[in-house]
């Protein structure tokens, strides 16, 4: 039975969460819905592991939906890159769900819990779909599925804080603008090539030579995706959305949603347009790199001045996305390796940090720095996990953050871009300030009141620590992640050239 399903893994990966979402909404009770969402998340994780193993063993998988041959039918195409991203997304889902039960019980009204898990499953299905598909229009469809469910998820934070509603609305407006731009870009490409299959597009675009329509399409797509991935200065929706969303949602989104958008950008820039596309190379060097550098500094400095830890981490995410965009802009194997590595590594560290903050919100009821005073003693495991995640964010050796930074600086030096190497290091030094603010409050300041605060429950601590240990494991033995990332980077650059 399992063997019979194996050739269909590529589509099952997406279909299983998609089908289970409406089923989930029919379960009226929150705990049943949770159970279902958890089983589906774990199934998705298992499938993504099997897919990665399959790709590593036999090479790229091309799955034709309904047996319609591409470019007419929809093709799902799995290679080393998106198998890796699928693993990140479903892996984070699998870790976050056991944690979600307690956190959701505290932050969301009982009547809305089943809806919450429905939206979560839709979001998961959307993100996995965006990643797995080889069809450009399919990307748009799944991007919208994930975005629309994300707006709902953010808005569900309103039970705890009404400010979630304007945050979600803001996100909705910006996200829709992004999606529209993206689909305009797709339309322009369809106009000149008559195809929507990515591989087919990649083959036909170079034949057109210098073409203004294609240039416009490229611009629309990059801006549209830039909005989705919160590329500076199109990031303004992100801090509020992350701050007021329920803790679980923040952790899940921070670790997955923007990563998937970065992946799509990579896919379009390198596979569809290809490095031979001169306009792209110019844009990357002269537009994306300055924006990435601005993100690294402006967002980091903004993070230093935040008083809410979730917001602080949200700004830090904008800065970290700057690193990823920077890696793309370097247009070299090492730079791309750094970006792909950081996709994974940043998911691990931000996941851990937001889960730790979620545990604080669960026990203390606030995520302000002031509320974290003296927590080092009262919630030792949670705060130790936060500190470890913070060290990883700074990029201290033996953590994954160090590995990312190592590759990024190496890429800059290989290109001979000395000032940029220095700037990367300087911005990571600034990260020390905002991480340290929290650590110092927790360990070196005393709380005013002596109310007893307990350590977070086991169901939260175990997922949290799983992520923290992964931060260190992949920081000490980075063979696996770097080899996957290098293979992926070479495939991107080789395939497009």
- Tokens standing for 93? 């889902």
Among 58, 449, 479, 497, the residue binding other proteins under the rule CB under 8 A is 479
If the CB atoms of residues 173 and 426 are measured against other proteins, the closer one turns out to be 426
Q: CA-based angle 212:215:218, to the nearest 5?
A: 150
- The DSSP symbol for 296 reads I
Residue 409 sits in the site that holds other proteins (CB under 8 A): yes
Task: Determine phi and psi for 30, rounding to 5 degrees.
Answer: -60, -40
Contacts of residue 39, Cβ cutoff 8 Å, sequence gap at least 6? none
- Least distance to other proteins from the beta carbon of 426, Å? 7
Task: Determine phi and psi for 308, rounding to 5 degrees.
Answer: -105, 130
If the CB atoms of residues 329 and 475 are measured against other proteins, the closer one turns out to be 475
- Tokens standing for 410? 């190496």
If the CB atoms of residues 41 and 404 are measured against other proteins, the closer one turns out to be 404
CB 131 within 8 A of CB 191: no
Beta-bridged to residue 197, according to DSSP, are 135
If the CB atoms of residues 84 and 99 are measured against other proteins, the closer one turns out to be 84
> What is the C-alpha separation between 476 and 460, in angstroms, rounded?
25
Among 56, 191, 282, 426, the residue binding other proteins under the rule CB under 8 A is 426
Note the helical H segments in 305-379: 309-329, 333-364, 375-378
- Least distance to other proteins from the beta carbon of 288, Å? 23
Residue 316 sits in the site that holds other proteins (CB under 8 A): no
- Per CB under 8 A, contacts with other proteins among 362-391 are 391
Cα-Cα-Cα-Cα torsion 43, 45, 49, 51, nearest 10 degrees, comes to 70
- Least distance to other proteins from the beta carbon of 321, Å? 21
Residue 423 sits in the site that holds other proteins (CB under 8 A): no
If the CB atoms of residues 286 and 473 are measured against other proteins, the closer one turns out to be 473
Residue 138 sits in the site that holds other proteins (CB under 8 A): no
If the CB atoms of residues 310 and 405 are measured against other proteins, the closer one turns out to be 405
Among 56, 282, 422, 480, the residue binding other proteins under the rule CB under 8 A is 422
> What is the C-alpha separation between 364 and 358, in angstroms, rounded?
10
Among 23, 173, 429, 458, the residue binding other proteins under the rule CB under 8 A is 429
Among 43, 192, 432, 493, the residue binding other proteins under the rule CB under 8 A is 432
Stretch that binds other proteins, among 118-126, 190-198, 345-353, 427-435 (CB under 8 A): 427-435
CB 311 within 8 A of CB 242: yes
Stretch that binds other proteins, among 55-63, 191-199, 369-377, 417-425 (CB under 8 A): 417-425
Residue 304 sits in the site that holds other proteins (CB under 8 A): no
- Least distance to other proteins from the beta carbon of 470, Å? 15
Closest to 388 measured CA to CA, from 311, 487, 473, 497:
473
Helix (H), strand (E) counts: the chain: 22, 2
CB 382 within 8 A of CB 464: yes
> What is the C-alpha separation between 443 and 353, in angstroms, rounded?
17
Residue 56 sits in the site that holds other proteins (CB under 8 A): no
CB 183 within 8 A of CB 220: no
- Least distance to other proteins from the beta carbon of 410, Å? 5
Residue 236 sits in the site that holds other proteins (CB under 8 A): no
If the CB atoms of residues 271 and 427 are measured against other proteins, the closer one turns out to be 427
Closest to 369 measured CA to CA, from 423, 433, 459, 281:
433
- Per CB under 8 A, contacts with other proteins among 437-476 are 440, 444, 475-476
Closest to 136 measured CA to CA, from 190, 175, 67, 178:
190
Among 133, 138, 367, 428, the residue binding other proteins under the rule CB under 8 A is 428
Among 37, 478, 488, 489, the residue binding other proteins under the rule CB under 8 A is 478
CB 64 within 8 A of CB 75: yes
Stretch that binds other proteins, among 37-45, 314-322, 418-426, 456-464 (CB under 8 A): 418-426
Among 298, 410, 469, 491, the residue binding other proteins under the rule CB under 8 A is 410
Residue 425 sits in the site that holds other proteins (CB under 8 A): yes
If the CB atoms of residues 84 and 474 are measured against other proteins, the closer one turns out to be 474
- Least distance to other proteins from the beta carbon of 209, Å? 37
CB 363 within 8 A of CB 456: yes
If the CB atoms of residues 261 and 421 are measured against other proteins, the closer one turns out to be 421
If the CB atoms of residues 128 and 421 are measured against other proteins, the closer one turns out to be 421
Residue 284 sits in the site that holds other proteins (CB under 8 A): no
Beta-bridged to residue 467, according to DSSP, are none
Cα distances from 330 to residues 102, 112, 413, 422, in angstroms, run 43, 45, 11, 15
The residues binding other proteins (CB under 8 A) are 391, 395-398, 403, 405-406, 409-410, 413-414, 421-422, 425-426, 428-429, 432, 436, 440, 444, 475-479, 482-483
């Amino acid at each position: 039975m399992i063997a019979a399903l194996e050739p269909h893994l590529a589509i099952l990966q997406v279909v299983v969460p998609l089908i289970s979402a409406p089923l989930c909404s029919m379960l009226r009770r929150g705990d049943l819905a949770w159970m279902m969402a958890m089983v589906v998340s774990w199934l998705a994780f298992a499938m993504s592991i099997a897919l990665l193993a399959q790709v590593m063993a036999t090479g790229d998988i091309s799955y034709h939906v309904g047996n319609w041959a591409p470019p007419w039918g929809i093709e799902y195409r799995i290679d080393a890159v998106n198998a890796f991203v699928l693993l990140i997304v479903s892996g984070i889902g699998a870790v976050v769900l056991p944690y979600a039960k307690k956190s959701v019980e505290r932050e969301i009204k009982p009547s809305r819990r089943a809806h919450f898990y429905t939206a979560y499953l839709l979001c998961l299905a959307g993100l996995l779909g965006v990643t797995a598909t080889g069809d450009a229009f399919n990307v748009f469809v799944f991007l919208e599925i994930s975005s629309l469910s994300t707006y709902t998820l953010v808005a569900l934070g309103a039970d705890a804080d009404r400010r979630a509603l304007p945050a979600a609305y803001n996100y909705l407006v910006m996200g829709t603008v992004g999606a529209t731009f993206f689909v305009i870009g797709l339309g322009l490409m369809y106009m000149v090539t008559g195809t929507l299959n990515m591989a087919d597009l990649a083959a036909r675009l170079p034949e057109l030579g210098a073409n203004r329509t294609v240039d416009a399409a490229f611009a629309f797509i990059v801006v549209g995706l830039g909005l989705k991935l919160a590329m500076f200065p199109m990031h303004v929706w992100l801090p509020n959305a992350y701050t007021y969303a329920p803790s679980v949602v923040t952790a899940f989104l921070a670790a997955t949603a923007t990563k998937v958008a970065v992946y799509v950008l990579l896919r379009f820039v390198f596979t569809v347009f290809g490095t031979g596309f001169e306009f792209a190379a110019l844009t990357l060097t002269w537009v994306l790199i300055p924006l990435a550098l601005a993100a690294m500094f402006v967002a980091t400095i903004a993070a230093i001045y935040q008083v809410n830890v979730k917001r602080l981490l949200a700004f830090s995410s904008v800065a970290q996305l700057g690193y990823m965009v920077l890696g793309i802009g370097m247009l070299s194997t090492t730079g791309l390796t750094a970006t792909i590595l950081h996709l994974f590594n940043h998911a691990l560290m931000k996941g851990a940090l937001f889960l730790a903050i979620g545990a604080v919100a669960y026990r203390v009821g606030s995520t302000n720095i002031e509320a974290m005073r003296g927590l080092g003693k009262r919630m030792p495991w949670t705060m130790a996990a936060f500190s470890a995640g913070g060290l990883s964010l700074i990029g201290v050796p033996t953590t994954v953050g160090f590995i990312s930074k190592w590759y990024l600086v190496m890429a800059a030096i290989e290109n001979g871009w000395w000032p940029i190497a220095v700037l990367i290091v300087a911005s990571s030094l600034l990260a020390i300030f905002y991480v340290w603010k929290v650590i110092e409050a927790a360990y070196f300041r005393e709380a005013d009141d002596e109310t007893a605060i307990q350590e977070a429950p086991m169901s939260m601590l175990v997922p949290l620590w799983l992520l923290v240990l992964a931060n260190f494991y992949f920081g000490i033995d980075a063979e696996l992640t770097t080899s996957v990332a290098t293979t992926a980077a070479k495939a991107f650059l080789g395939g497009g050239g």
